[in-house]
């Protein structure tokens, strides 16, 4: 081990290598503060050749490699947990290598922050249509590796739909050069799509070619108060009918989530004059040169809104989005929660939210459920908080896993998934193993064992414990 660390220190220099406990400490805790990990060193390569050097050296020594971008995983997907592990930070690789408006594409290195991708696309008269609350720190490599979702999936799909090409270092140190960004390429297995969503278990993504779309014209942002979640879904379908495919975001916020934000996030204020049981945040985007989407008329025509406000300035639109995007942060400030990133068919979501909430509250006396998020995608964050007055830590130590298993059973019975956009990481791996069908698990293990026979890439994440590869 000492040999390996010496070699890495020599090759990467002081900017690219540290084994200092204090320097490593921030990168050993996950965003939610649920896991404190362990590692031998933090390496920060400057380019793909250095990444390849690190991975090849680690493979030869049988040492685990944990790729890390912005460290914003909700499921501890980038937290090293082995005293010998190397945290491989992509932060220094943050160049936008190329923007090609003619190809509607840009190539960004893995450590590029999402916000910088937005800026680069805009400078070229285009737009990268994926956004999420962590856009100031989440990086391209992590977004691709987790097939991130966010608030525009409704119109443009998740990261997988936006990745045209990938460059990655595979577990043996070999370089996969898949950045050609061909729109059509029918040479069999799609390695890009295998690496996207693999959570760093099949290699280290070093750069990605991302799909751009035409620059937006005006955006219209509305906040609507509603009586029921079912009304929200009816509203969405009616608005789609009235506005074509202009609706890009349709986010549901229950009264209790809004209340948490108003209580904990400085500078926020209630968007509507009185309270409503449900709210939706809607964003519609018109093409450049076209008139703004008449969202106000369309909402009024449905007769479903109890009240609504349309942002009349960019600052107001940002303030409405801040209410939605701060829910996670407000929850975190307020206390612990068992978080569930679930999806069911869109049509089933309003019923599921009501029934699952009733079932959870009946089974665990006093708990508080907050379910919010991407209704238009059939994906909500179904979070369960401890009973008021309980000691959070003690309560979750005793009940957290039972609560999560209960929620995951409900979602599985409804034909849904226990991970819609956050991935599996370390936190959901046991539940994934418990609930996934055997054929899916067997195929995933076979792929993992074939590409990473030494099991060095992000061990403990995503793929439930690999069975020993067959030697026959």
- Contact positions toward Zn ion, by CB under 5 A? 373
| Of residues 220 and 249, the one with the C-beta less far from ligand MLT | 249
CB of 299 to ligand MLT, least distance (A): 23
Q: Which helix (H) or strand (E) holds 251?
A: strand 247-254
* Position 373 contacts ligand MLT (CB under 6 A): yes
Binds ligand MLT (CB under 6 A): choice among 139, 328, 417, 419: 328
Interaction residues for ligand MLT, span 111-150 (CB under 6 A): 133
Tokens of 429: 């791996």
| Of residues 91 and 381, the one with the C-beta less far from ligand MLT | 381
CB of 339 to ligand MLT, least distance (A): 6
| Chosen from ligand MLT, Zn ion, none, partner binding at 328 (C-beta under 5 to 8 Å by type) | ligand MLT
* 334 CB-near residues (< 8 Å, 6+ apart): 260, 263, 264, 385
Handedness of CA 196, 200, 202, 207 (dihedral sign): positive
Binds ligand MLT (CB under 6 A): choice among 381, 408, 429, 448: 381
* Position 327 contacts ligand MLT (CB under 6 A): yes
| Of residues 104 and 419, the one with the C-beta less far from Zn ion | 419
Contact predicate 437/358, CB 8 Å: no
The number of residues that bind ligand MLT (CB under 6 A) is: 7
| Of residues 131 and 139, the one with the C-beta less far from Zn ion | 131
> If you ran DSSP here, which 8-state letter would residue 243 be given?
H
| Of residues 373 and 425, the one with the C-beta less far from Zn ion | 373
| Chosen from ligand MLT, Zn ion, none, partner binding at 283 (C-beta under 5 to 8 Å by type) | none
| Of residues 285 and 327, the one with the C-beta less far from ligand MLT | 327
Beta bridge partners of 219: 285
Per-residue contact track with ligand MLT, 30 to 69, x per CB under 6 A?
Answer: ----------------------------------------
Which residue's beta carbon is nearest to the bound Zn ion? 373
CB of 153 to ligand MLT, least distance (A): 10
* Position 326 contacts ligand MLT (CB under 6 A): no
CB of 360 to Zn ion, least distance (A): 19
Beta bridge partners of 96: 108
* Position 376 contacts ligand MLT (CB under 6 A): no
Q: How far apart are CA 268 and CA 345, in angstroms?
A: 33
Which runs of consecutive H residues, i.e. helices, occur in 364-457? 392-413, 429-435, 438-451
| Of residues 104 and 417, the one with the C-beta less far from ligand MLT | 417
Handedness of CA 37, 42, 45, 48 (dihedral sign): negative
| Of residues 225 and 373, the one with the C-beta less far from Zn ion | 373
CB of 389 to ligand MLT, least distance (A): 24
Residue listed under structure tokens 């403990």: 460
| Of residues 327 and 356, the one with the C-beta less far from ligand MLT | 327
CA 66 to centroid of chain Cα atoms: 18
| Chosen from Zn ion, ligand MLT, none, partner binding at 243 (C-beta under 5 to 8 Å by type) | none
Per-residue contact track with ligand MLT, 430 to 459, x per CB under 6 A?
Answer: ------------------------------
Long-range contacts of 447-456 (CB under 8 A, 24+ apart): 447/194, 447/202, 448/201, 448/202, 451/170, 451/171, 451/202, 451/203, 452/171, 452/201, 452/202, 452/203, 453/171, 454/59, 454/62, 454/171, 456/55, 456/58, 456/59, 456/62, 456/63, 456/64, 456/65, 456/171
Length of the chain: 472
Contact predicate 50/44, CB 8 Å: no
Q: How far apart are CA 342 and CA 407, in angstroms?
A: 9
CB of 341 to ligand MLT, least distance (A): 6
| Of residues 172 and 329, the one with the C-beta less far from Zn ion | 329
Per-residue contact track with ligand MLT, 211 to 240, x per CB under 6 A?
Answer: ------------------------------
Q: Label residue 33 left, alpha or beta by phi (over 0 means left) and psi (-120 to 50 means alpha).
A: left
Point out which residues bind ligand MLT (CB under 6 A): 74, 133, 327-328, 341, 373, 381
């Amino acid at each position: 081990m000492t040999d390996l660390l010496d070699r890495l220190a020599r090759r990467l220099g002081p900017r690219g290598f540290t084994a200092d406990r204090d320097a490593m400490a921030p990168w050993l805790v996950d965003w939610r503060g649920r896991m404190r990990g362990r590692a031998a060193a933090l390496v920060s390569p400057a380019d793909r050749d250095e990444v390849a050097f690190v991975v090849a050296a680690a493979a030869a020594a049988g040492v685990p490699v944990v790729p890390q971008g912005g460290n914003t995983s909700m499921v501890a997907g980038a937290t090293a947990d082995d005293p010998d592990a190397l945290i491989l930070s992509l932060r220094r690789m943050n160049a936008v290598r190329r923007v090609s408006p003619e190809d509607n594409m840009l190539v960004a290195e893995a450590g590029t922050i999402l916000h910088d991708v937005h800026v680069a696309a805009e400078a070229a008269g285009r737009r990268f249509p994926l956004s999420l609350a962590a856009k100031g720190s989440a990086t391209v490599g992590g977004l691709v590796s987790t097939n991130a979702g966010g608030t525009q999936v409704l119109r443009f799909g998740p990261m997988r739909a936006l990745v045209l090409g990938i460059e990655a270092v595979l577990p043996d140190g070999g370089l996969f050069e898949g950045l050609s960004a061909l729109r059509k390429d029918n040479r069999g297995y799609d390695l890009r799509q295998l690496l996207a969503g693999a959570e760093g278990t099949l290699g280290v993504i070093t750069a990605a070619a991302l799909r751009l779309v035409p620059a937006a014209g005006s955006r219209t942002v509305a906040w609507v108060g509603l009586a029921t979640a079912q009304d929200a879904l009816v509203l969405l379908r009616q608005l789609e009918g009235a506005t074509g495919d202009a609706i890009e975001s349709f986010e549901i916020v229950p009264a209790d989530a809004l209340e948490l934000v108003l209580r904990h996030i400085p500078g926020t204020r209630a968007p509507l004059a009185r309270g409503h049981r449900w709210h939706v945040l809607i964003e519609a985007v018109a093409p450049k040169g076209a008139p703004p989407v008449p969202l106000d008329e369309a909402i009024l025509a449905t007769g479903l809104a109890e009240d609504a406000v349309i942002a009349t300035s960019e600052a107001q639109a940002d303030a409405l989005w801040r209410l939605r995007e701060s829910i996670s942060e407000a929850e975190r400030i307020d206390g612990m929660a068992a978080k569930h990133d679930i999806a069911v068919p869109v049509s089933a979501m309003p019923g599921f939210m009501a029934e699952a909430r009733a079932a959870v509250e009946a089974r665990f006396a006093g708990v508080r459920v907050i379910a919010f998020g991407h209704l238009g995608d059939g994906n909500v964050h179904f979070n369960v908080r401890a009973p008021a007055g309980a000691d959070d830590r003690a309560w979750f130590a005793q009940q957290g896993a039972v609560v999560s298993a209960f929620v995951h059973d409900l979602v599985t019975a409804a034909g849904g998934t226990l991970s819609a956009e956050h991935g599996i990481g370390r936190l959901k791996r046991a539940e994934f193993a418990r609930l996934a069908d055997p054929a899916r698990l067997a195929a995933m293990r076979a792929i993992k064992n074939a590409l990473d026979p030494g099991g060095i890439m992000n061990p403990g994440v995503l793929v439930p414990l690999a069975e020993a590869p067959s030697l026959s």
